Amino acid sequence: MTDFMQQTLDRAAEQAPAWLQDWLQDGRGRWQASDLPTRKTESWKYTSIHALRQPFAPPEASSMALADVAVQLPELGGYRLVFVNGHYRPELSGAELPAGVSLVRFADADAGQAGRIREHLGTAAGRDRALFTALNDAALADGVFLEIDAGAQVEKPLHIAWVTGNQDSAFSVNQRLLVLCGEQSRARVIEHFASARGQQETFTNGITELLLQRGAALEHYRLHLEESAAMHVGGVYAHLGNDASLDSFHLALGSALKRVDVLVEHRGPGAHCELNGVYLPRGSEHVDYHTCVEHAVPGCTTDEVFRGIVADEASAVFNGRIHIHPHAQKTRAQLSNKNLLTSASAEVNTKPELEIYADDVQCAHGATVAQLDETSLHYLRTRGISAAEARVMLSFGFINEVLDAARCEPLRDFLRPLLAQRLSRDPALSRHLV
């Protein structure tokens, strides 16, 4: 562990503000004391991080235009914040924040803001839990702190785009987002990861913390639209207070390595969490979602639906855990994971895990791995639709049901054609879906 990322960590320590130095050091200590997971590590059994065992340079500031790297961002009619290779790009970002929202980059924080960040940073992601959180802490030169005032009803989407462009050699990017939703506030936050076409290998470590105070409602999207050589290991860590409601939508196209951990803790009675996700690896790509919802208190609910289509030689992992603690009576939780394999060489490993230690609960879970339904395929063909187009339509239908759960309409309109086209390399086959 000594060499890996050393240069990046040194650079981060040079750039980080003084008030974060001890934070970085602590992270570095934890990182260096650990070993990289192997296939024998239970939570990494089906995902190899072998591809990370190579030198990654620190990210350089970049002035490239989004058009040059062929990254398209949706117009969502809200506020946008753009980072390229980990560096903030004010000229690509929005000017005016909606009322009730404050946003500060760690690098710009004044003493008061720094204090506020330190008060909340790490509360959900933990300081001892995950190896890659330690790495994120160790490389924390900059981050974003987003605060929704108590009672604020923010209708406009807050869109944070993390883009990786090109550099001379393989490089790594560290990203951190801390969202604090005040009591009875309402907001919509979109995290959007994108990569340039034909870029060299990159490794992004993106950690997000969502802190929902009493009665707060957050609609959250984490879109991994990076492709091919853009590797990502990261996670979303959420704390839900009394009657808080988190609606979190996840999407991942594949790349050489993509691993996202989602951990939601119900910490106040009456909290509700909706987790929806779609993953679409193809070629030789790999996607791994590990989700865990902790029901630590009574009277909370969880609805979780993840669906994946795995094509070609690609592989996917879904591990969905729901843990109901002894006092968490009156819990209602359901988890469903369905997978579609569109080639004989595609692979999926799915494991729903329900751990229930309370006796007055309603829980259900299920996982399926299947191929396209022959009867449906035949039905479409009896209407003159070619077998190839019918396959694309049925595949799209399979994920479209989950996509409908994304409430942000302009975002859905942005994603629909993108996902439909993803299902076939021949755009003619998805023309009736876009």
Partner 1 sequence: MLKIDNLHASVDGKDILKGLTLTVQPGEVHAIMGPNGSGKSTLGHVLAGRPGYTVTAGTVEFLGEDILELDTEERARLGLFLAFQYPVEIPGVSNMEFLKAAVDAMREQRGMEPIDAVSFMKSAREACKAVDLDQSFLKRGVNEGFSGGEKKRNELMQMMMLEPRLAILDETDSGLDIDALQVVAQGVNAMRSPDRAFILVTHYQRLLNYIEPDRVHVLAGGRIVRSGDKGLALELEARGYAWLEDEVA
Binding site for partner 1 (CB under 8 A): 374-376, 378-387, 389, 393-394, 396-401, 431-433
Secondary structure element (H or E) that encloses residue 411, with its range: helix 409-422
Q: How far is the CB of 319 from partner 1 (least distance, A)?
A: 25
Q: Toward partner 1, which CB reaches closer, 22 or 373?
A: 373
Reported in sequence order, the residue ranges of 311-413 that DSSP labels E, i.e. its strands, are 315-324, 332-341, 347-356, 362-370
CA distance 209 to 123: 8
Q: Toward partner 1, which CB reaches closer, 210 or 341?
A: 341
3-state secondary structure of 347: strand
Q: Toward partner 1, which CB reaches closer, 85 or 337?
A: 337
Q: How far is the CB of 376 from partner 1 (least distance, A)?
A: 5
Q: Which amino acid is at 29?
A: G
Q: How far is the CB of 188 from partner 1 (least distance, A)?
A: 24
Q: How far is the CB of 385 from partner 1 (least distance, A)?
A: 5
Q: How far is the CB of 417 from partner 1 (least distance, A)?
A: 12
Q: In this structure, how many other beta carbons lie within 10 angstroms of the beta carbon of residue 238?
A: 28
Q: Of 243, 174, 247, nearest to 210 (Cα)?
A: 247
Q: Which amino acid is at 20?
A: L
Q: Toward partner 1, which CB reaches closer, 16 or 429?
A: 429
CA distance 178 to 370: 38
CA distance 413 to 72: 14
Q: Toward partner 1, which CB reaches closer, 152 or 393?
A: 393
Residue 97 gets which letter from DSSP? P
Q: Toward partner 1, which CB reaches closer, 10 or 404?
A: 404
Query: How many distinct helices (H) and strands (E) make up the chain?
Result: 7, 19
Q: Toward partner 1, which CB reaches closer, 343 or 386?
A: 386
Q: How far is the CB of 278 from partner 1 (least distance, A)?
A: 12
Q: How far is the CB of 253 from partner 1 (least distance, A)?
A: 19
Give Rg (Cα) of the chain: 21
Secondary structure element (H or E) that encloses residue 9, with its range: helix 6-15
Q: Contact 182/218 with Cβ under 8 angstroms?
A: no
Q: How far is the CB of 303 from partner 1 (least distance, A)?
A: 17
Q: Rounded to the nearest 5°, which phi and psi values hold at 118?
A: -65, -30
3-state secondary structure of 380: helix
Q: Toward partner 1, which CB reaches closer, 57 or 380?
A: 380
CA distance 242 to 245: 9
Q: How far is the CB of 423 from partner 1 (least distance, A)?
A: 12
CA distance 258 to 340: 19
Q: Toward partner 1, which CB reaches closer, 125 or 372?
A: 372
| Ordered strands of the 230-240 beta sheet | 101-105, 144-148, 171-181, 202-212, 230-240, 258-266, 286-295, 315-324, 347-356
